[in-house]
């Protein structure tokens, strides 16, 4: 029998010394090392991981690429790029284990720019490579970014439950947008960072996502090292929360099958 495997689809790795991009809203004073993150895997049943570029490094994906290169069979990366990126650079990133781009929209005022022609061209280009887009939206703003992907086939992954907000009205608006978006492409959700939900019930949101996109399109992520929440989180406890959000019959898909398919793990 093949041993059980699991993927942590959302973690960040960074040094304490690399300079942040101009205008970064936050830059931790500590290092988040690959070794520290991976030391937590075994006890939680995790065997593979996805390193997501931090916003404070901007489009300098050096540390993500270095992390993935250290164990390319078990690690993949998510990059931040400009819409003007050329095919040669995309090919370089692809060769380095990058499988998605990230839009961190937490502090962005106008989401409409991400539906402009240059971005749509990029979405089509990365889709042709088998990549997808990962999106982190500010609370309740998923419906604002959904139109950006219209007329493109690119798959979309929403970080941190899609951050819909805590009111029933906001949640309903979010999932109406998810339903419309999922008619034209694959839509995934990372069941991650419940502490960033502003009081929303993660178990209830997990149930809504399961209804909206089905068990093949749910992922789990730790959000390690939990920036701004470092002292109140525990890796094993966050993994165990999934047991409360999803029945045992669905957890192998959420922890392994879906991520292996999306990021290309064997």
The enclosing domain of 259 has a CATH number of 3.20.20.140
- The secondary element (H helix, E strand) that includes residue 75 is strand 75-79
pLDDT attached to residue 1: 46
| Parts of the chain with a pLDDT under 50 | 1
pLDDT attached to residue 181: 97
Give a yes or no: residue 2 inside a domain.
no
- The secondary element (H helix, E strand) that includes residue 34 is helix 34-38
pLDDT attached to residue 134: 99
State how far the Cα of 8 lies from the Cα of 52, in Å rounded to an integer: 11
Give a yes or no: residue 192 inside a domain.
yes
pLDDT attached to residue 232: 86
State how far the Cα of 38 lies from the Cα of 42, in Å rounded to an integer: 8
State how far the Cα of 38 lies from the Cα of 70, in Å rounded to an integer: 12
State how far the Cα of 255 lies from the Cα of 251, in Å rounded to an integer: 6
Angle at 58 between CA 191 and CA 224, to 5 degrees: 30
Give a yes or no: residue 31 inside a domain.
yes
Give a yes or no: residue 84 inside a domain.
yes
- As for how many domains the chain has, the answer is 1
Give a yes or no: residue 5 inside a domain.
no
Give a yes or no: residue 3 inside a domain.
no
Give a yes or no: residue 72 inside a domain.
yes
Whole-model pTM over 0.95: yes
Give a yes or no: residue 59 inside a domain.
yes
Strand partners, 218: 189
Strand partners, 136: 104
Q: Containing domain of residue 149, as a range?
A: 11-263
């Amino acid at each position: 029998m093949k041993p059980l495997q699991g993927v942590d689809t959302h973690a960040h790795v960074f040094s304490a010394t690399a300079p942040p991009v101009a205008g970064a809203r936050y830059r931790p004073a500590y290092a988040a090392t690959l070794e520290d993150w991976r030391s937590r895997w075994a006890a939680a049943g995790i065997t593979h991981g996805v390193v997501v570029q931090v916003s404070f490094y901007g489009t300098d994906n050096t540390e993500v690429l270095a992390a993935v290169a250290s164990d390319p069979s078990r690690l993949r990366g998510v990059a931040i790029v400009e819409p003007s990126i050329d095919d040669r650079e995309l090919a370089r990133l692809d060769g380095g284990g990058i499988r998605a781009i990230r839009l961190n929209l937490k502090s962005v005022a106008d989401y409409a720019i991400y539906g402009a022609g240059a971005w749509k061209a990029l979405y089509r280009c990365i889709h042709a490579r088998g990549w997808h887009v990962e999106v982190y939206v500010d609370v309740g703003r998923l419906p604002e970014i959904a139109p950006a992907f219209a007329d493109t086939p690119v798959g979309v992954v929403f970080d941190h439950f899609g951050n819909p907000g805590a009111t029933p009205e906001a949640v309903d608006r979010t999932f109406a947008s998810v339903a419309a978006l999922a008619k034209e492409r694959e839509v995934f959700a990372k069941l991650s960072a419940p502490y960033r939900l502003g009081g929303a019930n993660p178990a209830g949101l997990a149930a809504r996502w399961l209804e909206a996109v089905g068990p093949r399109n749910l992922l789990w992520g730790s959000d390690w090292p939990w920036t701004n929440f470092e002292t109140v989180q525990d890796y094993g406890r966050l993994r165990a929360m999934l047991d409360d959000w999803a029945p045992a019959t669905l957890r192998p898909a959420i922890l392994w099958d879906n991520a292996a398919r999306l990021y290309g793990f064997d």
